[in-house]
């Protein structure tokens, strides 16, 4: 019984640690649309695009010229 408690505690601690690493963000586009992301978007200087993963798991790129703001939640 004690081993299960310790294992459950360690599992919960691991999940909390992983959840703390992500930084969800909201990208507001010039046309007013908002896109929620799982993590902070990466900006590629070479292409001029923000790359990110949406809440549904799709990887997406948005041109920097279309982005008004990027805010962390």
Q: Which residue ranges form the domains of the chain, and what is each CATH number?
A: 23-73 (2.30.30.100)
Answer whether residue 21 shows pLDDT above 70: no
Answer whether residue 22 shows pLDDT above 80: no
Measured distance CA(23)–CA(52) in Å, rounded:
12
Hey, is 51 helix, strand or coil?
Answer: strand
DSSP 8-state assignment for residue 22 = -
Instruction: Tell me which of 69 and 1 has the higher pLDDT.
Output: 69
| Residue 2 binned pLDDT confidence (cut-offs 50, 70, 90) | confident
């Amino acid at each position: 019984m004690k081993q299960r408690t310790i294992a459950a505690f360690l599992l919960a601690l691991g999940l909390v640690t992983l959840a703390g690493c992500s930084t969800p963000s909201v990208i507001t586009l010039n046309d007013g649309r908002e896109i929620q992301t799982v993590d902070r978007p990466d900006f590629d200087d070479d292409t001029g695009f923000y790359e990110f993963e949406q809440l549904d798991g799709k990887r997406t790129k948005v041109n920097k010229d279309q982005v008004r703001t990027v805010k962390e939640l």
